[in-house]
């Protein structure tokens, strides 16, 4: 997992640097700092630092640590549910997305506690609506179809 994360950062850094060199000029026509001045320095530094980190981990033999880690399962489920919640929120709005997300999360992580889960599933959307919608008069995601 560590290796994948390092590679992900490295790839993003390479893409960032590529765009900084191709799309953005280092200096303006007047010879001042251009839009690419900072990004180019940052991009190159990021690639260099990331390569050093990877080399150092290879040297210390820690690059592949945690690859067989089964602890990720619950975190991965929560991340998956949370991202699905984001999509549901965009499409269906908060009225449906919040209870659906809370019910699904509690169903998975708090098994067997049906009364507690039901109470939380009903209470949270009401509190959120009251807190954000009524008390703070803030915008709430209504979804695409409403």
Binding site for another protein (CB under 8 A): 1-2, 5-6, 9, 13, 16, 19, 23-24, 28, 31-35, 38-39, 42-43, 45-46, 49-50, 52-53, 56, 66, 71-72, 74-75, 78-79, 82-83, 85-86, 89-90, 94, 98, 101-102, 105-106, 109-110, 116, 120, 124, 128, 131-132, 136-141
CB of 38 to another protein, least distance (A): 5
* Token output for 62: 């820690």
- Whether the CB-CB separation of 54 and 107 falls below 8 Å is answered with no
Structure tokens given for 59: 């040297």
Q: How far apart are CA 133 and CA 126, in angstroms?
A: 10
- Beta carbon of residue 114, minimum distance to another protein (angstroms, whole number): 13
d(CA 63, CA 53): 10
């Amino acid at each position: 997992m560590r290796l994948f994360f390092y590679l992900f950062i490295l790839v993003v850094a390479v893409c960032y640097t590529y765009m900084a060199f191709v799309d953005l000029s280092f200096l303006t026509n007047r010879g001042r700092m251009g839009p690419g001045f900072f990004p180019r320095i940052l991009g190159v530094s990021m690639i260099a630092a990331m390569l050093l980190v990877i080399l150092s981990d290879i040297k210390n033999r820690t690059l592949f640590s945690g690859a067989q880690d089964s602890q990720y399962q619950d975190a991965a489920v929560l991340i998956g549910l949370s991202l699905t919640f984001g999509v549901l929120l965009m499409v269906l709005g908060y009225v449906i997305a919040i209870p659906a997300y809370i019910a699904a999360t509690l169903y998975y992580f708090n098994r067997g506690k049906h009364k507690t889960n039901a109470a939380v599933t009903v209470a949270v959307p009401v509190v959120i609506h009251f807190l954000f919608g009524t008390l703070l008069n803030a915008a709430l995601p209504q979804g695409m179809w409403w």
